[in-house]
Amino acid sequence: MSNNWTRREFVKKTGTAAGALVLGGAFADFLAACASGTTGGGETNLEIFSWWTAGGEADGLAEMFKIYKNKYSSVKIINAAVAGGAGSNAKAVLATRMQGGKPPDSFQVHAGQELISTWVKADKMEPITSIWNSEGWDSVMPKDLKTIVSKGSDVWSVPVNVHRGNALWVNLAKAGSAITPGTGNNLDNFLSALGKAKAAGMAAPLALGSKGNWQVTMLFENNLVAVGGANFYRGLFTGASSWTDPNIKTALNYVKSMLNYVNSDNATIDWDQASGRVQAGTSVVTIMGDWAKGYFTANNWKPDTDFTGIASPGTEKTYMIVCDTFGLPKGAPDRANAINWIKVCGSQEGQAAFNPKKGSIPARTDVSPSIFDSIAQKFIAEFKTDSLTPSIAHGSAAPEAFASGLNDEMGQFVQKRDVNGSATNIAKLADQFLK
Ligand code: GAL
């Protein structure tokens, strides 16, 4: 497809372009092993840090813990998850621990800039290149994913999944035929469907949990793709597109219009509660990553019977990449156990157990689609041909400073709904952090 980003373009700004030069693989491995003074064995714990506490995501994590426990029964697993979607609380806790020299054994981190321009650049990680090679992951992981967890000649974490950030979740009993996939799935039709639902008496047809603001950043980034296309969106991070382009205000205007249809308590609830509103029928749709599917299935809702998931309005044939990975922090107290954890994360068994519950599709290409629900099967197929776009809200596209500045701005936007003011502030953030 002509519109597809090449592998090289996809990785250019998501990974390898940022950060300092690092040592070659074998030598860096050797130094890190000397520094940590551990060669394996003797440790009793495995502390895993994440923000997976909600329905679906917590279940996926539990599946991987089960596999680990079966293999290493004497190890005590400490689940150090900190609640708050997208790591809205966890990231600050992790930063404090890392800066204070108290890393967990392994932590959840998004592929791309969140990994490379934060932790790798700060020299807080050990490369996992030798694990990658000994596990033979080159033959089962897409090259695109490997590249966005790489810097220099090293690999720094293992992808456990691929989430789709641009997804619309629909309560089928409430939707009727108003919101359907296909050519009609554009922003204007979507807004008119919301208008009809509201006129028919549903106060908040579009459920939104904006606690932490990142969920509004998702609406904005999806709308940027919808109005400008994948090439325009990706160009925002390579310098090929401008943050003063009229598409920015158009995308904001669409967010503003969507806000007319959301629940007024959005600032006090998170994504999972918003998903719960769709399941309860208080709202008909929500726009959220496919961890929402994990939430629905964990709450006994049946894919393509009770609910469906499609590309968010206007973004068909694009896939907003949200890729969770696990890496090895320098000074991990239980280093050998952490290495075994990383192996489970990258294994076929681990990914087959984790992803159906998590809502994501596997990073590995050799996990059978037949173990997934019909929506995931569709997403697995679409991932292969869609144009890939890295998410800002979930750490791949832009450095943390830009992503968190944008989250704050989008929080302001929900309050003030000032398209011109926010567009100006966003352009300033881009000047400051993306050049
Ligand atoms: C994302 C993460 C997903 C999911 C979501 C909501 O940042 O990549 O795995 O957990 O947050 O918490």
Cα gap 309→166, rounded to integer Å: 10
In this structure, the dihedral spanned by the alpha carbons of residues 150, 58, 273 and 324, taken in order and rounded to 10 degrees, is: 10
Domain boundaries, position 70:
14-162+324-367
49 and 132: one domain? yes
0.85 exceeded by the pTM? yes
Atom of ligand 1 nearest to the CA of 291: 4
Backbone angles phi, psi at 300, to 5 degrees: 65, 30
Q: Distance, CA 280 to ligand 1 centroid (Å)? A: 22
**Ligand 1 contacts CB of residue 329 (under 6 A):** no
263 and 405: one domain? yes
**Ligand 1 contacts CB of residue 52 (under 6 A):** yes
**Tokens, residue 106:** 């392994």
267 and 183: one domain? yes
226 and 105: one domain? no
Cα gap 344→400, rounded to integer Å: 28
In a domain, 344, yes or no: yes
**Tokens, residue 319:** 């896939």
Q: Distance, CA 290 to ligand 1 centroid (Å)? A: 9
195 and 283: one domain? yes
Q: Distance, CA 291 to ligand 1 centroid (Å)? A: 7
**Ligand 1 contacts CB of residue 114 (under 6 A):** no
In a domain, 301, yes or no: yes
Give me the number of domains the chain comprises: 2
Residue 211, phi-psi category: left (phi > 0), alpha (psi -120 to 50), beta (remainder): beta
C-alpha pair distances (Å), 252 with each of 101, 164, 177, 258, 378: 41, 21, 27, 10, 29
Digitized pLDDT (tens) for each residue of the chain, 435 residues in all: 334 443 344 445 454 433 222 223 332 332 233 333 333 456 799 999 999 999 999 999 999 999 999 999 999 999 999 999 999 999 999 999 999 999 999 999 999 999 999 999 999 999 999 999 999 999 999 999 999 999 999 999 999 999 999 999 999 999 865 565 555 789 999 999 999 999 989 999 999 999 999 999 999 999 999 999 999 999 999 999 999 999 999 999 999 999 999 999 999 999 999 999 999 999 999 999 999 999 999 999 999 999 999 999 999 999 999 999 999 999 999 999 999 999 999 999 999 999 999 999 999 999 999 999 999 999 999 999 999 999 999 999 999 999 999 999 999 999 999 999 999 999 999 999 999
In a domain, 372, yes or no: no
In a domain, 377, yes or no: no
Q: In DSSP terms, which residues pair with 47 in a beta bridge?
A: 78
**Nearest C-alpha to atom 2 of ligand 1 is from which residue?**
86
Cα gap 396→389, rounded to integer Å: 9
In a domain, 6, yes or no: no
In a domain, 384, yes or no: no
Cα gap 253→265, rounded to integer Å: 21
